[in-house]
Amino acid sequence: LHDRGMKPHRVEEPLDQEEVSLCVVNSCTVTDEADNQTRRAIARLREYLALPARNGVERYQARLMLAKVLWQQGDVDEARVVLLGCAAEDWSRTEHWIWLGDLAYAGGRLEEALQFYRYAGTTAGEPPFTVWWIDLSSYSYLPAQRLAMAYGAIGRGEDALGWADRVLSLLPDDAPA
């Protein structure tokens, strides 16, 4: 650290074994609490989705949140199942198709990824009307970017270039050059 010009806060006193042990215990406590909160969030979202369907738009958002947490926890198969139910909750949204494509792409299932990205691409440039906050990139350049990526990965260069060109036309005006 000293070679890079960085200096620890307390240079004069090295940590003793008790201080090191306390740091390790505190670090584990924080990690354990975060794990507990994650488990509780997963349980609550599953409980909510088990209730009778009343608000598809809200349930769609709950499915996205649950799938994201499951994916972060490494439960890719369960995240996929949760995402596949999204279309039944809110037919106007397409974020789940991008996420399903990303799961398939990460798993090396390129044809499957391409199909999910195609579904998402149907709304490229046309976001839905909704009272919920949505990530506009999921309805503009992102599906086109994913399609360009997937087509390139399977060796369909002409299609990849076509979608890459579409990405440029869908970027927001304030996108960095």
Type of residue numbered 46: R
Q: Mean pLDDT for each 10-residue chunk of the chain (177 residues)? A: 46 54 49 80 92 87 95 95 94 94 97 97 88 86 96 97 95 81
pLDDT at site 56: 86
Nearest-angstrom CA–CA distance, 60 and 52: 14
Full-model pTM: 0.78
Integer angstrom CA distances of residue 2 from 5, 9, 63, 68: 5, 12, 48, 40
- Closest Cα to residue 66, out of 120, 98, 58, 152? 58
pLDDT at site 177: 62
83, 86, 92, 96: CA torsion to nearest 10: -10
pLDDT at site 16: 57
pLDDT at site 176: 77
